[in-house]
Structure 1
Amino acid sequence: MEEKKRDRLLFWDILKGIGIVSIVFGHSQNLGVAIRTVYYYHLAIFFFISGYLYKEERYGDAPFDFFARRLKNMWVPYFCYGGLFVLLHNLLSKYLLFLSDSDYGKKEMILAMTNTLFLRCPEGPSGAMWFVPLMLAAGTGFSVILWFCRNYLPDSFRPWAAAALCIGAGLFGTALIRREIFLNYHLQTALLMIPVYYSGYAVRTFKISLERYVTWYGAALCSGLFYYFLMFTGESVELSANQIPGGLNFYIISAAGIYLCCYVAKCLQKVPKTGKAAALIGRYSFDIMALHFLVFKICDRIYARMILEPAENQGGFPHSYPELHILYLVLGIVLPVLFAIGARKAIHGLGGMLRSRSGKSQVL
C-alpha cells in the first residue's frame, strides 16, 4: 500500500516537473510554434494537479481553512523571493540586467516591499510569479463551490451540481476575458481555470485510472488535435495577456495538453533515473518559476562580457541572445534547484544550531 502511494505521489511530482520545464522552455525560446505548443497546457497542468491533490476530507467543509493554508504555503516563498528581488533592484539595474527608470531610495523600497507583501511584486525577475495569486484564487473559488454543494444540496445531486457550477464559473471567466473585462489579480482567469481544477478533483474522486485510460493511441489522438490547432486555427493561449481561443476551444486544447503530459509522466515513471530527476524538478517548481528569469539575465551578462557586446544590447526581456536558448533552458532549471536545495539546507542547519544553543542555555 505504501509503495503504491509513493508511486502515485512520484507521478504527480513528475507531472509538475513536466509543467515547469514547459514554462521555462516557453520563456527561453523565440520559436513561434514551439511557444504556442507549450502555452496550450503549461499553466493548465498545475491547476489539474492541484485539483487532484485537493483534500476534500479536510477542507470540504472549511474553505477558509483551505484559503489560509494555501496562502501560507504560497505567500511565504513569494514574499521571500519578491523581497530578495526588491533588495537587489538597484544592483540589477546598475548592471543592466533588468532596466529601471530610477534606483530605489528608502521610500521606493518600502513601497515595493508593501506591494510584494500583497502579492504584487513590481520587479522584473518576479514576472513569472503573477501565477501565484491566480492559483490561490482558482483553488479558493473551487473550494467555496464544493463547500456550498456539500452543505446546501442533497447527496445525490451534489456531484452534478459541483460540476455544473465549476463549468459555469469557467464560462463566466471566458465571457469576462472575451469582453476585455480584466479584474485585479487576474480573477477573470482564475474563474476560467476552475473547471480545469475540477477535472483533477474528478479524476481522484471518481477513481478514474490514469494508468488504464492514458494510452499511446490517446496521446497520438491528442497530438493530432494539437497539430490541427497549431496549423489550421492560428489560435494561441497567453493567459498573462488574457489571450485564449474562442468558444470551448481553450478547454479542448487544455484537456489534450494535460492528457499528453500525463502520458509523458507515465512513460518517465517507468524509467527510474529520469523519472526521479523529473520529480525532483517538480518538487522545486516554485523556485524554478521564481528564479529562471534572473538566471536568463545572468547568462546574458556573462555572455556579453565574453563576446565584448555593448551593455545596451543586454536589455531584452526575458533574454537577449537567441543562440543561448539551450543554455537558458538548462541553467534556468538546474541553478534554481541547486539554489533552493542549498538554501533549505542552510536554513535547516541554522535552525538546528539555534535550537542547540537554546537547549544549552536552558541547561545552564
Structure 2
Amino acid sequence: MENRGDEVQSRSAASEWVRGGGRLEWIDVARGIGIIAVVAGHVWTRGPLRDAVYSFHMPLFFLLSGFLSRPQPPARFAIRQLVSQMRPYAAFLILLIIADSIIEPSKGNSPIFDQWPQDLLPVLLGGSWLRGPFTIFWFVPCLMASRIIFNALSARWPDPLDHRWALAIVPAFIGAYIVGDVTRASVLGSLTVPMALVLLWVGAAWQRVPWRRWMWLPLTALSLAGLSAVLPTLNMKAADYGLPLLSIASAVASTLLLFRLSVRIAPVAGWLAAIGRASLVIMYLHVAVIHYLSPYFSKPWLLIHALLLPIALYYFLRANGWGRRIFL
C-alpha cells in the first residue's frame, strides 16, 4: 500500500527487475492478492486456510514497500509520511468509532468505546489497545514508522547490499524476537517495527538480485512448509514470528513467488489490480464489515462483502475531492 508519489519514483528501479514494466500493473495485482489473503484470514479464523494466509499475508505488504523504496531526504520524507498516512488513519478511526456507537446500541449492545473521556487514551495508543472492528489499525502506523526509519538509514547507506546494513538489520531481527517474548503491548503497532524494518530491507535488497531458475526449488520448499503449517504460522501484530528464522523465511519465500506470479498474470488480472488499488480502504474497513455482518452471512458471503463494500467506498471517495483529501 505504497503512496502513489513514492511508487512513481520507484518504477524505474522495479522495471529493471521485470522486462516491460510499463505502468507496473503487477504491483497492484500483488497488492490485490495480499489484501484478499488478509480478508480471508479474518473471515476464517481457524483451520488450514487461516494458517496458510497467516504464513505470509502481512509480510507481503512490508516486502513490497521495501521493494519499491528509494532513498529520499529523511526529514521531508518523514513529514510527508506523517501527514499522508495519519490523516486517513485518524479519519477512518473516527468514522468507525461513530459507526460502532450507532450500530451496537441498535442491536442492544454497548459500543466498544463507551466510557468517554477515559476511552480517549486507548484510542490514542492504538495498536494492541484496539480490538474488534479496529483490530487492523496497528498496520498503517507500524508501516509508516518502519518506512521512516528505513528511509533514514537508506539515506546513509543507499545500497541495501552494503555490509553496513548488518549494523541495523541484525539487531532489529534479534530484537524482534526478544520484544515479542517480553510484551504484547504495542503503541500504534510499534511492537512489530523491528521485524517490519527487516522485511523492508529484504524487499529492497531483493530488488537488486537478478532472478535465477535455481531459486524456484528452495523458495517453493520454504513456501510450502509455511502454507501447509509444517512451520508455525505468524501473528505479526503480536510480534509472534513462529519458529525463529524459518517461519519468517517461509513468508519471504511465499511473497517472492507471489511477486513472480503477479508479473505473469498482470496482463489478464485487471480485476486483481483494481482490488489492489483499493487495498488501503479495504485494510481499514474489512474487519468492521466482518464484525457487524458475521451473525447474518456465511463465511464466503462475508468474504465477498468485506471486499466489495470497501471497494465501493473507495471509488466513491476517489470520485470526490473531499473524499480523496481526507481518506485517501
TM range (shorter): 0.7 to 0.9
Q: Tell me the CA shift for residue 119 of structure 1.
A: 5.3
| 2:54 is equivalent to residue 51 of structure 1 | no
Question: 2:150 — aligned with what?
Answer: 142
1:239 aligns with 2:236: yes
1:86 and 2:60 correspond: no
Residue equivalent to 1:124: 132
CA contact (8 A) 1:14 1:276 kept: yes
Residues 60-101 of structure 1 show CA distances to partners (whole Å, capped at 9, x for unaligned) of: xx2222221122221111111111112223212213497536
Any stretches of 5+ residues in structure 1 without a counterpart?
304-320, 352-364
Shift of 1:115: 5.9
Q: Distance in 1 between matches of 2:47 and 2:294?
A: 21
Percent identity between the aligned chains?
A: 20
d(CA) in 1 for partners of 2:170 and 2:242?
17
Shift in Å, 1:168: 2.8
Displacement of 1:347 in angstroms is 3.2
In the alignment, residue 165 of structure 1 is paired with which amino acid? A
Matched-pair contact (CA < 8 Å) for 2:176–2:239? no
* Matched-pair contact (CA < 8 Å) for 1:219–1:263: no
Instruction: Quote the Cα distance in structure 2 between the aligned partners of 1:90 and 1:231.
Output: 40
CA distance in 1, matches of 2:182, 2:205: 30
Pairs within 5 Å for 1:252-271: 252-271=249-268
Mapping for residues 284-295 of structure 1, pairs under 5 Å: 284-295=278-289
2:108, 2:150 → 1: CA distance? 39
1:282 to 276, 280, 288: 276
The one of 337, 340, 343 aligned to 2:314: 340
**Alignment equivalent of 2:38, drawn from 13, 17, 23:** 23
Q: Secondary structure at the match of 1:244?
A: coil
Q: Does 1:63 align with 2:78?
A: no
Q: CA RMSD in A?
A: 3.3
Aligned to 2:22: 6
Instruction: Name the structure 2 match of 1:133.
Output: 141
Alpha-carbon distance between aligned partners in 2 of 1:103 and 1:118, rounded to the nearest angstrom: 16
- Please state whether the residue corresponding to 1:6 is helix, strand or coil: coil
Structure 2: any 5+ residue segments left out of the alignment?
Answer: 1-11
Contact 2:142 2:190 (8 Å CA) reproduced:
yes
Q: Distance in 2 between matches of 1:349 and 1:193?
A: 29
The one-letter code of the counterpart of 1:256 is A
Deviation at 1:21, TM superposition (A): 0.8
Q: What number of residue pairs does the alignment pair up?
A: 308
Give the Cα separation in 1 of the matches to 2:88 and 2:138. 13
What one-letter code is carried by the residue in structure 1 that aligns with 2:35?
A: I
- Say which SS state the counterpart of residue 235 (structure 1) adopts: coil
Q: Does the 8 A contact of 2:74 with 2:155 survive in 1?
A: yes
Describe the shift of the 1:269–1:136 C-alpha distance in structure 2 as closer, same or farther (beyond 3 A): same
Corresponding residue of 1:174: 177
Q: Counterparts of 2:166 and 2:29 in 1: how far apart (Å)?
A: 27
Q: Distance in 1 between matches of 2:174 and 2:112?
A: 40
SS in 1 for 2:319: helix
Q: TM-score, normalised by structure 2?
A: 0.80
1:149 shift after superposition: 3.6
Partner of 1:355: none
- Whether contact under 8 Å (2:29, 2:262) holds in the other structure is yes
How far apart, CA to CA, are the structure 1 residues paired with 2:184 and 2:113? 32
3-state DSSP of counterpart to 1:178:
helix
Distance 1:196 1:122, change over 3 A: closer
Counterpart position of 2:6: none
CA shift in 2, pair 1:118/1:76, >3 Å? farther
* Residue in 2 that maps onto 1:249: 246
8 Å CA contact retained: 1:170, 1:193: no
Residues 19 and 46 of structure 1 are in contact (CA less than 8 Å); yes or no, is this contact kept in structure 2?
yes
Residue number in structure 2 paired with 1:330: 304
Decide which of 194, 198, 208 is 2:201's aligned counterpart. 198
- TM-score, structure 1 normalization: 0.73
Given the superposition, is the C-alpha separation of residues 252 and 158 from structure 1 closer, same or farther in structure 2, using an over 3 Å criterion?
A: closer
SS in 1 for 2:57: coil
Structure 2 counterpart of 1:289, one-letter code = M
Distance of aligned partners of 1:349 and 1:147 in 2 relative to their CA distance in 1, 3 Å threshold: closer
Using the alignment, how far apart are the partners of 1:350 and 1:251 within structure 2?
35
Please name the residue that 2:5 is paired with: none
